[in-house]
Amino acid sequence: MAPSSARQIGTVVKYELLKYLRGRRLLAIVLLTIIISSIFLIVPPAIGTQYEKDPKEFIGQMLGFLGILSILSATFFGADAIVSEFESKTGFLLFPNPIRKEVIFGGKFIASALVSVGTIALYYAIAITSVRVIDGSIPANTGLSFAYALAYLFAILAISYLFSAIMSSSVYSLILTFFSFFLILPIVDAVGSIAKFKPWFSITFAAGIATYIFDIPYPTDKAFTTTTGPQAASGASQTLSLTQYYPEVQLSLYVMGAYFIVALILSVLLMRRRQM
């Protein structure tokens, strides 16, 4: 007799992790994490400059790459998790068994969340160790920053599953996931600064709380002007009025939570309805 759904989820997690270990994506993301970290640690002495003295500044600079690692994790481990079962016909092997599609989904999501959290945790571990060795202290709010980074990671992972449940091709799902978070939403965030609207609803904007949390006090929105144009030096420049928006912590957590819940529910429903 088929075991309980909880035991079946455990089985799916185990074999998904085994697939990650045998595949190249896990190796790729670990290498990227190490390479990105190494850049911060190797380049300053290599070009004869000193490390940032302020621990907050140092860790803030390192965590500037947190976004790209989160996006790559979601792309590598979430973007084709569902669609590949249908596209590559492995679903013909898995689905005719006494296992609910929700259980398969749950197992896959947990496995991808585990490796993604592992990636982010590794990056934080390297950053914390580095700042401790170089500056002798760990900045306040590092734990909160990690928690916010995980909130962002879970939200974009859920959205990547949603893309995976919608799209008919793994390649399209991978491209859509990567470019949505790496290009499209950041453009929306930048336009907000010019058009004077706060993109509080944008998940990439909300993700900023993971690095801004090191600023004490926490920054608030501020307007400023800048001069632009080819004749700026000759006085024929244009003055551009911009606003630097900062995500509010509580609202951003709600936004990320909402994305996570809605995307996850929709993904499960779409996977249940999807037919081979």
Provide the binding-site residues for another protein, judged by CB under 8 A: 1-3, 7-8, 11-12, 15, 18-19, 22-23, 88-93, 95-100, 275-276
Q: Closest approach of Cβ 214 to another protein, in Å?
A: 40
Q: How far is the CB of 156 from another protein (least distance, A)?
A: 25
The torsion of the CA quartet 83, 86, 92, 95, rounded to 10 degrees, works out to 50
Q: Whole-number minimum distance, CB 174 to another protein, in Å?
A: 17
* Cα separation of the two ends of the chain: 25
Query: How far apart are CB 37 and another protein at their closest, in Å?
Result: 27
When the beta carbons of 15 and 246 are compared against another protein, the nearer one is 15
Whether the CB-CB separation of 254 and 220 falls below 8 Å is answered with no
Q: Is 238 helix (H, G, I), strand (E, B) or coil?
A: strand
**Residue 200 · residue 206 · CB < 8 Å:** yes
Residue 250 dihedral angles phi and psi, to the nearest 5°:
-65, -50
Length of the chain: 276
With beta carbons less than 8 A apart as the criterion, state whether 50 and 44 touch: yes
Q: Which is nearer to another protein, 18 or 39 (CB)?
A: 18
Provide, rounded to whole angstroms, the least separation between the CB of residue 175 and another protein: 22
Report the alpha-carbon angle 128-134-135, nearest 5: 85
Q: Which of 245, 241, 188 is nearest to 219 (CA)?
A: 245
Cβ proximity of 245 and 192 under 8 Å:
yes
CB of 26 to another protein, least distance (A): 11
Distance in angstroms (rounded) separating the CA atoms of residues 153 and 164: 16
Report the sign of the C-alpha dihedral through residues 128, 129, 134, 136, in that order. Answer: positive
Of residues 99 and 162, the one with the C-beta less far from another protein = 99
For another protein, the closer CB: 90 or 239: 90
| In the complex, minimum distance from the CB of residue 14 to another protein, in angstroms, rounded to a whole number | 8
Which residue number, 97 or 225, has a Cβ lying nearer to another protein? 97
Residue (92 or 179) nearer to another protein, CB: 92
Closer by beta carbon to another protein, 91 or else 106: 91
